[in-house]
Amino acid sequence: MSNMEKPVPIANALKDWVTDFDYYTDVKVNKVGYPDYLQYKDKDQKYVQSWWQWSGKSKKTGAVVKIDFVQFDLFNSAGKIEFESIYGDFSKMVKN
């Protein structure tokens, strides 16, 4: 995510995501289009790339904020998610 210097463990991310409701109403995450399956021969890597849009209405200003982001899920040989990452510009999302 924008302005991040290093990855954040999922437990920490979940705690932060819950705070969205302190600053926004009508919080939604909608799927955009269809996911893409990417398989790389190098290291036999298998990814699913999916596109999403986060939206919420600011409790402070009443403005609706919309943020497009992409999610990458890396699957292991057993079909389990081994790693997940999100890329998007969340700088428009003000929490104060």
At 58 the pLDDT is 95
Owner of token pair 């986060």: 54
Number of domains in the chain: 1
**Does residue 2 carry a pLDDT above 70?**
no
Exposed/middle/buried for residue 20 (C-beta within 10 Å: 0-12, 13-18, 19+): middle
- Tell me the C-alpha distance between 44 and 30, whole Å: 30
CATH number for the domain spanning 73: value is 3.10.450.50
Please indicate, yes or no, if residue 61 is contained in any of the structural domains: yes
At 23 the pLDDT is 94
| pLDDT tens by residue, 7-50 | 778 788 888 888 899 999 999 999 999 999 999 998 889 999 99
| pLDDT tens by residue, 41-90 | 988 899 999 999 999 999 999 999 999 999 999 999 899 999 988 888 88
**Does residue 96 carry a pLDDT above 80?**
no
Question: By residue range, what is the domain housing residue 65?
Answer: 10-92
Please indicate, yes or no, if residue 1 is contained in any of the structural domains: no
Exposed/middle/buried for residue 54 (C-beta within 10 Å: 0-12, 13-18, 19+): buried
Please indicate, yes or no, if residue 4 is contained in any of the structural domains: no
Query: Between 3 and 12, where is the model more confident?
Result: 12
**Does residue 4 carry a pLDDT above 90?**
no
At 7 the pLDDT is 77
